Structure 1
Amino acid sequence: MRRNCSQAEDTHKEADLLGVQEPITVEVNMRGMRKLNVRPPLQLYLQQLWGRRHFIVTDARFRAFRTAKSYNLWRFWLIAQPLLDATMYGIIFGFLLKTSRGVENFIGFLIIGVTFFGFLTSLVNGGQSLVQTSKNLIQAFSFPKATLVFSQSLRYLIDNLPALLIAIVFALVAQWHKPISWTVILVIPLTFLVWAFGTGLMFIVARITAFLPDFKVIISVGIRAWFFSSGIFFPLERYAHSPILYKIFSLNPGYIFLTAIRDSVLYATVPSAQTWLTLIAWSLGTFIVGLVFFWMAEERYINVHA
């Protein structure tokens, strides 16, 4: 026994002289520990998002107008850009292609269509590569990744508010001889519904492009097709002679949103109850589906390549 102990001591001394350290086994109690980047239950996920609401608002406000501020005259371009866009489309479609015929206050009709649809498409485009560009943040911290989408969508809402307000003002100025109706205030809830609808699409686009970057090409083509089929340059009633074609176009949520906003601002008309229900269904439905769709891949975003 003593001989064995002596041999063990000699072995330890030898190891110390050679600088070799013997492996040490440490038992760790795993109770109460949890893995990082694991998808939590949806209810807990929503609670975590609510707990980060102040960060979402602060981050969105900090990033707002970042693109515009890269210009020396960024305040001027906030006003001028939507007007220049409307002028360009007005010359091409209103003057050259004569789509303005039969449209009351075509200037207001066009500027509202271009500006509000531009707001919607900016939300969709904002989801492209959002996960990839936030790769460092995702790897460094454990947090609900939907925070990124909410911050981005809120940022685009802030970015577009001046353009939306200017579009409404110029649309009303273009019909200065008509009194302003109280229905203009309906633009506020309608804008919120557009934002909710666009945020739902942003969730969907953010997840798809995170794992299929090439899908951005399809999204770009789809947005252009959506742009020209939403009645931005002419009322879709011109297709009333073809009931099937008119029905297809009139089911387009982009067209329904623009029609409701134009009716409220230009034509002093309250959207019907059916229109409100349709818009609420599109907005909340897309928002909920998009959020759940994004949440289902929560644990996979850390593995996305930048």
Structure 2
Amino acid sequence: MHVARHKWRSSKTAQRGVEELNAQVARHEGRVQIVNPEGLHPLATRPTLREYISQLWARRFFITADARAKALRTTRDYRLWQLWLVLNPLFDVALYGFLFGMLLKTSRGIENFIGFLFIGIIFMSMMTGLMNSGISLMQSSRSMIRAFQFPRASIPFSTTLRSMIDNVLPAIVALLAAFLFQWGTWPSWTLILVVPLFILIHIFGCGLMLITARLTAQIPEAKTILGLVSRGLFFLSGVMFSIDRFAEHSAVHQVMSANPCYIFLTAVRDASIYRTAPSLATWGELVAWSVGAFVLGFIFFWRAEDKYVRLV
């Protein structure tokens, strides 16, 4: 009751203030100058797509510098923050390995299950981490968006580059640990293919981030739904088990096989611990998913460029 009364009094006070201001304007006898509206331009406008790309390219050094300055700082609040960059993925693998490998017996029929799990958890975390980084990204950058005029896509681009730098060490840990658990089987030349796969993963993740950044800026309630989608992808992409266990259910198996996250994980596992180069068809799918998600996300984000100042 007290809050409602306070809001009512505030609205009445504001209304009286507007009325007093209008009365002062009506009584004003000074010089009045009429401004031609044809010469006025709105401050927040959306540039053409070509101009927008040009603006981003002009700020490429700022994007790179910002990403490098913020990289490897996720856990600096901890005393041994550098060590936690390695310990965090190890603890995740230990937990999921115990739950799924020992209790639920999903390790059956999988060669080097621990290596399979290391690569699955760490590389999948890169994709879901990029997607989740877009949630509330624009709101957390509110002060910079309101204070400066710049292409807002600089923020997701910088965040993606920062994540790529942060993810190098966990990726190395995943691969080293995977090979340790198949001691005696040395890496093949196909291991070098993990590098372009690593880059494609971040291009794909950047597209997802651009989409989630705009969605959560316009629809704050989307945060809950996107959180569920992220967790669903993690558990439905063959991270802790082989999807061949669903071979009898052809519809389920086909849907899971078409999941781009699953295709990425399978390609990384094949190129590393299973010593097999992904087929040309697989490369085509991965490039199509990565470029498609990035282009779609970029255009979707750009179309709201003139709204972010008001949305945040």
Same fold (TM over 0.5): yes
Q: Deviations over 1:259-284 (max 9, x none)?
A: 00000001110001110000000000
After TM superposition, which residue ranges in structure 1, 4 or more long, deviate above 6 angstroms? 26-31
Query: Which residue matches 1:236?
Result: 243
Tell me if 1:111 matches 2:118. yes
Is the 8 Å Cα contact of residues 36 and 142 (structure 1) preserved in structure 2? no
Give the one of 30, 48, 55 matched to 1:22.
30
Identity of paired residues, percent? 46
2:114 maps to a residue whose letter is: I
State the shift of 1:23 in Å: 3.0
State the shift of 1:222 in Å: 1.0
For 1:283 and 1:240, locate their aligned partners in 2 and report how far apart those are by CA, in whole Å: 27
Query: Which residue matches 1:195?
Result: 202
Tell me if 1:263 matches 2:242. no
State the shift of 1:28 in Å: 8.5
Larger radius of gyration: 1
3-state secondary structure, aligned to 1:48: helix
State the shift of 1:35 in Å: 3.5
Tell me if 1:294 matches 2:294. no
Query: Which residue matches 2:153?
Result: 146
Query: Which residue matches 2:6?
Result: none
State the shift of 1:169 in Å: 1.0
3-state secondary structure, aligned to 1:69: coil
Query: Which residue matches 2:75?
Result: 68
Worse-superposed segment, 41-50 or 22-31? 22-31
1:78 maps to a residue whose letter is: L
For 2:307 and 2:238, locate their aligned partners in 1 and report how far apart those are by CA, in whole Å: 39
Is the 8 Å Cα contact of residues 112 and 262 (structure 1) preserved in structure 2? yes
For 2:248 and 2:217, locate their aligned partners in 1 and report how far apart those are by CA, in whole Å: 43
1:197 maps to a residue whose letter is: F
| Count of residue pairs the alignment pairs up | 285
State the shift of 1:140 in Å: 1.0
State the shift of 1:65 in Å: 2.2
Is the 8 Å Cα contact of residues 132 and 230 (structure 2) preserved in structure 1? no
1:273-292 to structure 2, matched below 5 A, reads 273-292=280-299
State the shift of 1:25 in Å: 3.6
Q: Deviations over 1:108-141 (max 9, x none)?
A: 0000000000011110011011111111111111
1:10-159 to structure 2, matched below 5 A, reads 22-23=30-31, 25=33, 34-159=41-166
Q: Deviations over 1:233-281 (max 9, x none)?
A: 1111111122221111101111000000000001110001110000000
TM-score in terms of structure 2 length: 0.88
Q: Which runs of 5+ in 1 are unaligned?
A: 1-19
State the shift of 1:179 in Å: 1.8
1:22 maps to a residue whose letter is: G
